[in-house]
Every structure is written in structure tokens, then in C-alpha cells.
Amino acid sequence: MKILVDADACPVVKLVEKIAKCYGIPVVLLCDTSHIMNTDYSEVKIIGSGVDAVDFALVNMCLKGDIAVTQDYGVAAMVLSKGGYCIHQSGKIFTDDNIGGLLMDRYLAKKARISKSKNHLKGPKKRTQADDKKFETSFENLIKKLLNN
């Protein structure tokens, strides 16, 4: 098992590394050329800057039983199809049962944005310590569950 992180603008990289280190699980941080990262624990893979290049690299590296950290529902769907596990930076676990609805919500939100091109929708709320704690708890529970299987 390894942990793959879609690390471009990912706010939980340090939490992932802290927890992975406790369990001795290797971490691979994938980022494009405009988000170069330094770490003393993870392997960093710098991927070309093409559209979705990091996403496809992550999916291609993912093996059955690996964990991916991403906020991209499309990446999550592909990871799940390979037998991997996936968690959002909010702590939401992606599953075969919820990914279809999430992809549909994404599609409908995109349609709404396009139809309201002059009225911009609000972006995400500012991240809080409670958000970090929720991710940390959910991520660690996922790891414990997988290690006990």
C-alpha cells in the first residue's frame, strides 16, 4: 500500500505525511511544474504542466489497495475502478456507492456555472482547523480499516 496525493494546492499534505509516517506507509506527492514541493518524508514526482497531467499520472501509478488523496471526483472514480481507495481533502471517503451521485452533482454545478456566466458563484469557504481535524480523523480511520483487513 502507498498513498498518492494530488498535491497541487492540496491543504492536507502535511497531515497525510504525519499520519503515513506513524504507520510506515510510503507517500508519493504528484505536482505540476508550477507547484514544486520539498519534503523529508514523501517521494515527489513533478509531472508536466499539461491539462490533467497530474491526474492521469496519479491514476496510472495507482494499484489495487493504494490510497489516493484528491478533490477531483473524476480521479476518484478512476482510482476506485482500479481497486484503490480515495479520500477528499474534506475527509469524505469516495466509494462505489457515492461516486456516481458526486459526478452528477459536479456535472449539474458546471451547467449552472455556464448558464450564469455573468453571475459568479461563490468559491469554497476558507479552510478551518475543524476541517483539518475532520480529514485527519477520517484518513486515519481509513488507514486503520485497511491495515486490519
The ranges assigned to domains in the chain are: 3-148
Question: Is the distance from CB of 70 to CB of 37 less than 8 angstroms?
Answer: no
Q: Which CATH number is associated with domain 3-148? A: 3.40.50
Q: What is the pLDDT of residue 48?
A: 83
Q: What is the pLDDT of residue 91?
A: 96
Q: Which residues pair with 32 in a beta bridge?
A: 47
Residues 6+ apart with CB under 8 A from 49: 32, 33, 34
Opening angle at CA 3, ends 19 and 59, nearest 5? 155
Measured between alpha carbons, how far is 108 from 88 in angstroms, rounded to an integer?
19
Single pTM value for the model:
0.88
Digitized pLDDT (tens) for each residue of the chain, 149 residues in all: 999 999 988 999 999 999 999 999 999 999 988 877 889 999 999 998 788 899 999 999 999 999 999 999 999 999 999 999 999 999 999 999 988 777 787 667 777 777 765 555 566 678 999 999 999 999 999 999 999 97
